[in-house]
Chain A
Amino acid sequence: DTGVSQDPRHKITKRGQNVTFRCDPISEHNRLYWYRQTLGQGPEFLTYFQNEAQLEKSRLLSDRFSAERPKGSFSTLEIQRTEQGDSAMYLCASSLGTFRGPRYQETQYFGPGTRLLVL
């Protein structure tokens, strides 16, 4: 399967614990995004990488959250001192920008997500 993969698919943790999620993007994709999705809502942007550089972080990404993409391939998202409000689906997406004629086009492909439940 050459799609975006995420691990683990589910995580249950107690409040105050640290958790780390992994995302493996489609191999040739240079951009990698993290989104958070709560029940009944659309995904919300958290952060994104171009190759190994983290270029933007949402205000949703508090100082308890950190993301890395050390070699421009897989990425990790760590949440420290988890809170019940962190319970959500964490989605990873990857993309490769291409030009169609003069126009730049980019489509993001999403992984299956990691569902986090903080007790």
Chain B
Amino acid sequence: TQLLEQSPQFLSIQEGENLTVYCNSSSVFSSLQWYRQEPGEGPVLLVTVVTGGEVKKLKRLTFQFGDARKDSSLHITAAQPGDTGLYLCAGARSGGGADGLTFGKGTHLIIQP
């Protein structure tokens, strides 16, 4: 069973601070995706990283895929209250057309004004 460990589980910081969320596994994934989920809604895809060492930026969010494709990080610069939510990382298997995602438990992020 492929497991994804996310840390921290909970994070509450002040507006304007920087933060990093980690996603680690002992397994190799063909790709890794980051989602943001708000209460009562489904997860919304933020980014997909495919290549080991890949870095992608989405405004104030920076995503990195580890060289060995086993881990990833999400860095938020100058966090804003609108960034509050549940951040989920998810790894995709490969082969045979079955690409169901394995999700981490998520990081609950609260940005206080």
Q: Do A and B share a complex?
A: no
Question: What residues of chain B have their CB less than 8 Å away from a CB belonging to chain A?
Answer: none
Residues of A that sit less than 8 Å from B by CB: none
